[in-house]
Structure 1
Amino acid sequence: METLIVARTRDLGDGFEVRRALPSARRRMVGPFIFFDQMGPAVFRSGQGLDVRPHPHIGLATVSYLFEGELLHRDSLGMVQPIRAGDVNWMTAGRGIAHSERTAPEARAAGGRLFGIQAWVALPKQYEETEPAFAHHAVDALPFLEGDGVRMRLIAGSLHGRRSPVRTFSEMFYADVALEADARLVLPAEHEERALYLADGAVEIDGTAFGSGELLVFRPGCEITLRASALARMLFLGGEPMDGPRYIFWNFVSSSRDRLEEAKADWKADRFARIPQETELVPLPEEPGPVLPVGLPGRGRG
């Protein structure tokens, strides 16, 4: 293993927690993955829910993936799509998009659990200003492998000889893996940058135990064999290195600092397209933190 990252926990209120694994001081990116948040698990009482208000993105694609629960996606293209467990919702921001993700009224009335992952995938330079788009892929459309205590659903990219129908802009992989206790699985060496995020349970690699909320980044070129020491749920992720450094500021990602400044000005001046049926806007933070260089030479390896 090359780097171990313990995800930072943040309480968003009403007991709803997120764990952020990327970006980290120890590792800024893994392949094209530049942001990786675990949402929950949380239990909402009747009348409660999640409200991610309208906000913008550029230069990336968002991937919303749920283990449990449901959210309602709306965006400035006019797309309205329920996000349900096991489905893939890939939103290409490109030159600019705004979206919201909320608990739908009927789900809010009923209450229930919510558990999932929100990831951002940086776009190669040639696609940073592509037209925004949204694609939904139902769970039954995704490659699924099962046997010997292993269940793996391929969210995006290619792994173990299978390829997801989700269109990506660089060579990558992203998979949802569940292992029963004592089950074993090999993460092949076919991609240069690879990581495992443990969402629940525990695994062992070469006799070392790892637990939930940990992101394990592996060295290139060697197969990794892992064994579940208890029922475990994890994500495999990675791909080819990015084509140069990226800068990240609030919800914006770009290879150009100037482009970030332009996006900030556009959001502040209300020049992004509006989302139908939405009236709220998350204001541009006055001091959201510095413009961070991400993926500099050496790719941030710790």
Structure 2
Amino acid sequence: MSIRPGDEQTPNELPEHGPVLERIEPKPRDLGDNFFVRRALPAIEKRMVGPFIFWDEFGPVQFEAGKGMDVRPHPHINLATVTYLFEGEIFHRDTLGSAQAIKPGDVNWMNAGRGIAHSERTAPDLRATGFPMAGIQSWVALPEAQEESEPFFKHYAQSELPVLEEGGKVVRVIAGKLFGKASPVKTYSEMFYADVQLDTGASLPLDADHEERGVYLVEGEIEVAGERFERGRLLVFRPGDAVTIKAVTPARFMALGGANLGPRHIWWNFVSSRKERIEQAKEDWKAGRFGTVPGDDKEFIPLPDR
């Protein structure tokens, strides 16, 4: 997906005590054709959570017959995009020649590295019938040593991801390590990312050993240190504090975090530790040096004017 320059949040007043350091309420963003997302990162008060530098929730939305997602080819550098669906399907294509449908519970992991362009569309057969869609797309910054790594795309089926199921909780580890489970997804830094579902009254501790930790509440209501939170909130926890998340109602949230990689610059779809690298990426996109997306080479998203 795509971000517009300057598309960030305004800061909230922060609590002085307690495990919840930040409470970020995403704001809607229109990606075109009345398709809205809710963007939690980057935010002025917290630009990153571990390596996560971008966070969009989309849906739930019901597309009518003839409608669908149409994110035209656009470029990325020095990051990895991560797409995870709750409902629906998205068809991915990129300049490497990848062509892959993603369905709920699967993971599409695209390492942009030194540069890649991709599109995200609705396949014709699904567009013809209409369908529901909901999910998360996030961007993961790469360590400086891997920012210019070779681009690659890898699809992981839901069946490949490890699951912890006990005591009223189901935890699917999307990337990194959590609760002794390790995802097969290839990453370049210490991180964790998981899809968590809790029955009413069930609880989940979040290991304080991780440098930065957060949860994004997708469904239901949870309680942390006596405070209740409803869906559509990104909670960032104070480093080192013990955190236990309890479900007040049946709840679903994404747990995310990992090592702090240091500051990153972000402009449109480009992320880098170096400002001059972003300037180069702008020129490369304008000059067509990212290449074309096979099977989707008739249009593209132009470089923004600002």
TM over 0.5, shorter chain: yes
Match of 1:205 among 200, 206, 224: 224
Residue 257 (structure 1) aligned with residue 275 (structure 2): yes
**What is the deviation of 1:140?**
0.4
CA distance in 1, matches of 2:82, 2:33: 25
Q: CA–CA distance in 1 between the matches of 2:34 and 2:98? A: 30
Distance 1:60 1:11 in 2: 23
Shift of 1:123: 0.5
- Does 1:142 find its partner at 2:161? yes
Q: Aligned to 1:49, which of 68, 72, 89?
A: 68
Residue 119 (str. 1) matches residue 138 (str. 2): yes
Q: For structure 2, which runs of at least 5 residues remain unmatched after alignment?
A: 1-19
Which of 27, 43, 55 aligns to 1:24? It is: 43
Aligned equivalent of 2:290: 272
Where in structure 1 are there 5+ consecutive unaligned residues?
Answer: 288-302
* Number of equivalences: 286
Q: Report the CA distance shift for 1:195/1:102 in structure 2 as closer, same or farther (over 3 A).
A: same
Q: Equivalent residue of 1:2, what SS?
A: strand
Partner of residue 2, structure 1: 21
Hey, what's the Cα distance between the residues in 2 that align with 1:231 and 1:86?
19
Query: AA paired with 1:89?
Result: N
Give 1:12 deviation, angstroms.
3.6
Equivalent of residue 255 in structure 2, options 219, 236, 254? 236
Q: Compute the TM-score of the two structures, normalised by the length of structure 2.
A: 0.91
Name the SS for the 2:47 alignment partner: coil
> What RMSD over aligned residues (CA atoms) do the two structures have, in Å?
1.0
Alignment identity in percent? 58
> Is 1:246 matched with 2:264?
yes
Q: C-alpha displacement at 1:14, in angstroms? A: 5.0
Residues 134-164 of structure 1 deviation map (CA, whole Å, 9 limit, x = unaligned): 0111000100011222111000000111110
Amino acid at match of 2:226: G
Q: Which of residues 178, 181, 199 in structure 1 aligns to 2:197?
A: 178
Say whether the 8 Å CA contact 1:17–1:42 is kept in structure 2.
no
Worse-matched range after superposition: 52-61 or 223-232: 223-232
1:83 aligns with 2:102: yes
* Corresponding residue number in structure 1 for 2:3: none
Query: For residues 256 and 88 of structure 1, do their structure 2 counterparts lie closer, same or farther at Cα, with a shift above 3 Å needed?
Result: same
Change (3 A) 1:257 1:2: same
Matched with 2:150 is: 131
CA shift, 1:228, in A, is 1.0
CA distance in 1, matches of 2:199, 2:45: 30
Query: What is the CA–CA distance in structure 1 between the aligned matches of 2:82 and 2:32, rounded to whole Å?
Result: 23
3-state SS in 1 of match to 2:255: strand
Q: Which one of the candidate residues 58, 71, 92 is aligned to 1:73?
A: 92
Contact 1:188–1:222 (8 Å) recurs in 2: no
> 1:18-42, CA deviations, whole angstroms, 9 ceiling, x for partnerless residues?
1101001110001100000001111
Superposed counterparts of 1:148-227, under 5 Å: 148-227=167-246
1:15 CA drift (Å): 4.6
Contact 1:156 1:174 in 2 (8 A): yes
Q: Is the 8 A contact 1:198 1:233 kept in 2?
A: yes
Write out the 4+ residue segments of structure 1 that deviate beyond 4 Å after TM superposition: none
